[in-house]
Amino acid sequence: MRILIATTQVPFVRGGAEIHAEGLRNALCQAGHIAEIVAIPFKWYPPERIPEHILACRLLDLSESCGVRVDRVIGLRFPAYCIPHPNKVLWILHQYRAAYDLWDTPLGDLIHFPDGRQIRDVIHQADRRYIAEAQAIYANSGNVSKRLKNYCDIDSTPLYHPPQDAERFYSGEACDSLFFPSRINRTKRQDLVIEALAHTQEAVQIQFAGMADDASYQRELRETAQRLGVGARIEWLGEISEEEKRDRYAHALGVLYPPLDEDYGYVTLEAMLSARPVITCADSGGPLEFIRDGENGRVTAPTPQALAQAMDELWQDRARARRWGEAGREDYAERRISWQTVISTLTQ
């Protein structure tokens, strides 16, 4: 099949969504399809740009290219998934969250604009209308699927995929450090982890890896760490290579991943592939589809105290940490998460 993957790209920003689209393209090609990514540049501010972007997507014609039919469009992100095609299948990474679950939260920006409600209405209308055009609707995770149902009354099926280079993760001897690999971003809640660190009884140490989306947040984190007297127990690794990341996973005592209502979360899966236990929070979204409290990690209340207690427990009982990590790896294997499953589902 000739397949186009319709996604959205914020110029100069690269993250999980870009890796996801590339992983899908590569898997489609390996399965014998001809696949390419069509990335729509997206700018969401001022909010008046958003309806224009939706309209721009609607005016695109991906039904054929150079006179040859495009057999299928797979839409991933808003508003690219609004592009029309007679044989459109959606695999939704997430909707425009500021119009939904993040609307009246510190992480939502749309609510602060005079016409925020009006723009939100249009986004809701576009989602209800254009998502429903698809022949089949899959969601990146159960969490995304649940939001689609809750907010738009759209049924979808969760379809999991493996993280990039899943087969190259491995496990090694655990060292004296917890690992938190993620973009430095308020939704990932590195601040919560630093506050928790100040509540630990043990000499817990943490390695943060990842680029900062927002320099001011990074500054705040460092200042908070100094103020709470835990700066010396934190290592800021910045952006690291994939190889180094796998090595850090392999030798971490455990992995911290307490984001706020994450869509899916590669970190959880990468930790499981590395046989590391994961500490996450009860409101973290995607990770909760994989982490079972006391079996392959900890699910705590999203408070510094609760998180600190879980970190201390892991620190104190290394054997249990190892058992949970192994259990996580076995869970991952049992789920049979693979690109083959994804491709056969999306091309059926």
Partner 1 sequence: MKINWFSPLPPARTDIGHYTARIVSALSRRAEITLWACQDDWDSSLEQYATIRRWSGDAWTDLNRADLTFYHIGNNRLFHQAIWETSRRHPGVVVLHDLRLQHLFLGIYLDIQGQRDAYERVMTDYYGHAGRRAARQFFAGELNAEALAERWPLTEHALEGACAVLVHTHDALETLAASNRWPVGCLPLPYPSSLTPPLPRPCDPSAPRRLIVFGYLGANRQLDKLLQALAGLPERLRLQLDIYGQLDQPDRVRAQIRALGLGGIVNLHGFVSESELDRALDHADLAVNLRYPSMGEASGSQLRIWDHALPSLVTRTGWYATLPETTVAFVRPEHEVADIQQHLRQLLIDPEHFASLGCNGRRRLQAQHAPDQYAEALCRFIPVAQNHRRIGLLDPLIARLRHESVAFPQPFRPNDWRRLAGELNTLVGMPAPPP
115 is an interface residue for partner 1 by CB under 8 A: yes
134 is an interface residue for partner 1 by CB under 8 A: no
Q: Please state, in angstroms and rounded to a whole number, the distance separating the CA atoms of residues 71 and 35.
A: 10
- Residue 58, CA distances (Å) to 15, 84, 218 in order: 25, 6, 38
106 is an interface residue for partner 1 by CB under 8 A: no
Report the DSSP pairing between strands 72-77 and 2-9: parallel
From the list 167, 170, 185, the residue with the least C-alpha distance to 15 is: 185
Note whether 277 and 257 are within 8 A (CB).
Answer: no
3-state secondary structure 19-78: HHHHHHHHHHHHCCCEEEEEEEECCCCCCCHHHHHHHHHHCCCCCEECCEECCEEEEEEC
Number of residues lying near partner 1 (CB under 8 A)? 22
Classify residue 168 as exposed, middle or buried by CB count within 10 Å of its CB (0-12, 13-18, 19+): exposed
Is 348 strand, coil or helix? coil
122 is an interface residue for partner 1 by CB under 8 A: yes
Among 59, 66, 232, 319, binds partner 1 (CB under 8 A): 59
Note whether 169 and 121 are within 8 A (CB).
Answer: no
Min CB(47)–partner 1 separation in Å: 10
Among 13, 14, 41, 48, binds partner 1 (CB under 8 A): 48
Torsion sign (Cα): 235, 240, 245, 248: negative
Binding to partner 1, residues 85-104 (CB under 8 A): 104
Q: Taking contact as CB under 8 A, which single stretch among the options 112-120, 160-168, 214-222, 288-296 is the one that binds partner 1?
A: 112-120
Among 21, 80, 89, 119, binds partner 1 (CB under 8 A): 119
116 is an interface residue for partner 1 by CB under 8 A: yes
Among 126, 196, 299, 314, binds partner 1 (CB under 8 A): 126
64 is an interface residue for partner 1 by CB under 8 A: no
- In the complex with partner 1, which residue's Cβ is closer, 28 or 54? 54
318 is an interface residue for partner 1 by CB under 8 A: no
204 is an interface residue for partner 1 by CB under 8 A: no
244 is an interface residue for partner 1 by CB under 8 A: no
- Residue 42, CA distances (Å) to 50, 119, 129, 234 in order: 8, 16, 20, 35
151 is an interface residue for partner 1 by CB under 8 A: no
Min CB(122)–partner 1 separation in Å: 5
Min CB(118)–partner 1 separation in Å: 5
- In the complex with partner 1, which residue's Cβ is closer, 127 or 262? 127
Note whether 140 and 317 are within 8 A (CB).
Answer: no
* HSE (side-chain half, CA atoms, 13 Å) at 116: 14
Residues that bind partner 1 (CB under 8 A): 48, 51-52, 54-55, 58-59, 104, 111-119, 121-122, 125-126, 129
